[in-house]
Amino acid sequence: MKKYLSYLALGLAVVHASCTDNDDPAVVDRDAPVIAFAEGRDGFRPANNEVRRGTTDHMHVRFSVTDASGIGQVLVDVHNSFDGHTHARMLNNFEALNVKDIYSPDAGNPAFRFPQGATFLNVDNSTTDIYWEGPTSRVEGNVLAGPYDIIVSAVDIHGNQTGFADDSNYLATFFIERAYAPVVEVTNLEDGEIEGEAGEALEVIGSIAKGTHSLSSEIKFVWIRLAEEHDHNHSHSAMARVKDEVFYERMWGASTWRQGMTGPALPNTDELRFEDILQGENAIILPSGEDHLDLIVWVEDINGNVTQKTYEVHID
């Protein structure tokens, strides 16, 4: 958090140095900028829980900022959320996407500039999209697959800034999938759900497997949970920090990203069948009094790639 706020602090120093209105007692603006959808759009991009498939090499960035007094600076911060922010490092040619794009009147990148004193900024252009492949890629090697956070924050010319406490920042988690990441597949879905009965073992048919890509590596860690239907990714919002109620949780192997999360050895590091690992004492017994829950499957490979899949479970 401190590192994140330092970017805005640097911007504030520039804004205060170039703007004398802050010392004017007549200035009564105490309102932070408003971050909203891009003009003519019906949502942010990336949207929360948006999945960027393995065939995709970029993500769209779409939002707007409004401030009656004038926008000082806008920060688009993208970082991985694999690990609860312990920021493990991988000693290979895989790299997490890490972006700090600062929009301002004097931004070094022309695509991030807006006029001095502008009261409205609309970000909805291919030049501001974020790539992880190709000539404008933000990574030097291969991007790590997994969940990422995007935070859009803004400050006006008087130093009023958006924040987490009142949810005036835009915060979302999106997923980058890659062909070389672990493959998770459930084949017994009915209308997109896994059906089960309260008090009975949940039948899950499918597999967790090493990918077939030349860069794929063996499975290192598997984490399976059955939890309430909520946003299962972390949030800086006070309201969203309420923990999900977890009805089932098992782990196999040792996590690269999540400190202290380990379980018994994986029975196979190339392929695991749900029918084999979710039986006996590891069977998922569905609770009574619940209608819908989420089955969350988190898989890591040796290279640090993460595949997370969430399946809705309907309980009769």
Does residue 180 register a pLDDT over 60?
yes
Encode pLDDT of 246-263 as tens digits. 999 999 999 999 989 999
pLDDT band at 34 (very low <50, low <70, confident <90, very high): very high
Residues 255 and 300: beta-carbon distance below 8 Å? yes
The pLDDT of residue 13: 42
DSSP state of 28: -
Q: What is the mean pLDDT of residues 44-60?
A: 97
The pLDDT of residue 83: 74
Does residue 241 register a pLDDT over 50?
no
CATH of 2-176, one of 2.60.40.10, 3.40.50.300, 1.10.287.130, 2.40.50.100: 2.60.40.10
At residue 4, the 3 state secondary structure works out as helix
Which CATH code fits 183-315? Answer: 2.60.40.1930
The pLDDT of residue 240: 45
Contacts of 42 (CB under 8 A, 6+ apart): none
Average pLDDT of the residues of the chain: 89
The ranges of the chain annotated as CATH 2.60.40.10 are: 2-176
CA distances to 90, 190, 220, 267 from 264, in Å? 23, 31, 11, 9
At residue 18, the 3 state secondary structure works out as helix
Query: Cα 169 to the chain's mean position, in Å?
Result: 15
pTM of the model: 0.86
Task: Report DSSP letters for 108-161, one per residue.
Answer: SSGGG---TT-SEEEEE-GGG-EESSSTTBS-SSEEPPEEEEEEEEEEETTS-B
Residues 194 and 230: beta-carbon distance below 8 Å? no
Q: What is the mean pLDDT of residues 78-98?
A: 75
Does residue 91 register a pLDDT over 60?
no
* H-run or E-run covering 182: none
The ranges of the chain annotated as CATH 2.60.40.1930 are: 183-315
Residue count of the chain, please give it.
316
Q: How buried is residue 205: exposed, middle or buried, by Cβ count under 10 Å (0-12/13-18/19+)?
A: middle
Does residue 236 register a pLDDT over 70?
no
Q: What is the mean pLDDT of residues 16-31?
A: 58
